[in-house]
């Protein structure tokens, strides 16, 4: 008797579930198009408005630039090597870094039912508007009126601290860049394929049908005995049969050599 005679026929079971192509929307999705668009636009507008306190905080922390009225030559910087320009850009970069991290984490936690690429679009778009337009524009307006009034009435030799300005493009793009990186990392570390129910096992989710289990022979037809696990995959060989003495029940490959004389 060969070992293959003891193996039950392999039952492949139901066909494996295959995911729908990426260009098709999943049926039964809990994310309607109207809700997706509303959340995307709302998150963009709210984050863009948060650029106002970011600009006010930057204007309060960034140092002013010392200037002097030299008469006919106008107002010039009263320092041969001013560091205030670099300090203003540095402060905006640091604040933009923290702003991008906080906004991305807050959006991930608050909008947990709307996680996905559209949330990424809303957050990155909002941080771009806040960091590139709203915060610098509002921050540079703080104290600008008093400075212009001083320039109009200043006498020669008078000094003043001009309000800070953002001179480089890079600091204004930091919030959007950081928010995109943080959201991408959070999505990559999430173990839920749908990104809307944290804690789901990898490969399972509300929009995924159950995966087919191992083949079943029904009842107590398992080769391992009643109540034992079903037979494994086709490339798995069961334990060889043994005789009553405990020896393998395979035919002797060299019967002539082992025959007693």
* Per-residue pLDDT reduced to its tens digit, 77-88: 887 778 888 999
Render pLDDT for 101-157 as a digit per residue (tens, 0 to 9).
Answer: 999 999 999 998 888 899 999 999 999 999 999 999 999 999 999 999 998 888 888
Asked if residue 243 lies in contact with residue 251, where contact means CB atoms within 8 angstroms, the answer is no
Q: Decide if pLDDT at 237 tops 90.
A: no
Tell which wins on pLDDT, 241 or 229: 241
Beta bridge partners of residue 248, listed in sequence order:
242
Starting at the edge strand found earlier in the chain, the sheet holding 65-69 runs 75-77, 65-69, 159-162
> Which helix (H) or strand (E) covers residue 76, if one does?
strand 75-77
Mean of the pLDDT values across residues 224-252? Answer: 56
% pLDDT > 70, the chain: 61
pLDDT reading at 100 higher than 70: yes
Mean pLDDT, to the nearest integer, of 214-232? 48
Report pTM.
Answer: 0.65
Q: How confident is the model at residue 97 (pLDDT cuts 50, 70, 90)?
A: very high
166-189 pLDDT, tens digit per residue, is 999 999 999 999 999 999 999 888
Ramachandran angles phi, psi of 76, nearest 5°? -125, 165
* pLDDT above 60 (res 40): yes
**Residue scoring higher pLDDT (5 or 37):** 37
pLDDT at 24 over 90: no
Lowest mean per-residue pLDDT among 70-74, 161-165, 230-234: 230-234
Q: Which of 241, 246, 242, 215 is nearest to 230 (CA)?
A: 215
Give residues with Cβ within 8 angstroms of 152, minimum separation 6: none
Q: What is the pLDDT of residue 37?
A: 93
Check pLDDT > 80 for residue 71.
Answer: yes
Domain ranges of the chain: 33-64+82-144+169-189
Q: How far apart are CA 68 and CA 162, in angstroms?
A: 10
């Amino acid at each position: 008797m060969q070992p293959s005679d003891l193996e039950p026929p392999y039952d492949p079971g139901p066909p494996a579930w295959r995911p729908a192509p990426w260009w098709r929307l999943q049926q039964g999705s809990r994310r309607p198009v109207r809700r997706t668009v509303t959340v995307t636009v709302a998150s963009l507008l709210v984050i863009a408005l948060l650029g106002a306190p970011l600009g006010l905080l930057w204007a309060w922390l960034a140092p002013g630039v010392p200037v002097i009225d030299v008469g006919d030559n106008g107002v010039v910087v009263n320092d041969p090597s001013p560091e205030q320009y670099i300090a203003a850009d540095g402060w905006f970069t640091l604040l933009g870094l923290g702003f991008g991290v906080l906004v991305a984490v807050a959006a991930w936690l608050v909008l947990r039912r709307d996680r996905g690429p559209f949330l990424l679009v809303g957050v990155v778009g909002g941080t771009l508007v806040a960091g590139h337009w709203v915060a610098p524009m509002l921050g540079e307006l703080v104290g600008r009126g008093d400075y212009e009034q001083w320039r109009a009435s200043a006498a020669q030799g008078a000094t003043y601290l001009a309000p800070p300005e953002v001179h480089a493009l890079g600091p204004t793009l930091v919030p959007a860049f950081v928010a995109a990186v943080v959201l991408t990392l959070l999505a990559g570390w999430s173990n839920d394929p749908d990104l809307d129910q944290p804690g789901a096992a990898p490969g399972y989710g509300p929009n995924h049908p159950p995966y087919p289990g191992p083949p079943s022979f029904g009842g107590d037809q398992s080769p391992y005995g009643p109540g034992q696990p079903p037979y494994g995959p086709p490339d798995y060989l069961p334990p060889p049969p043994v005789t009553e003495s405990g020896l393998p029940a395979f035919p002797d490959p060299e019967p002539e050599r082992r025959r007693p004389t």
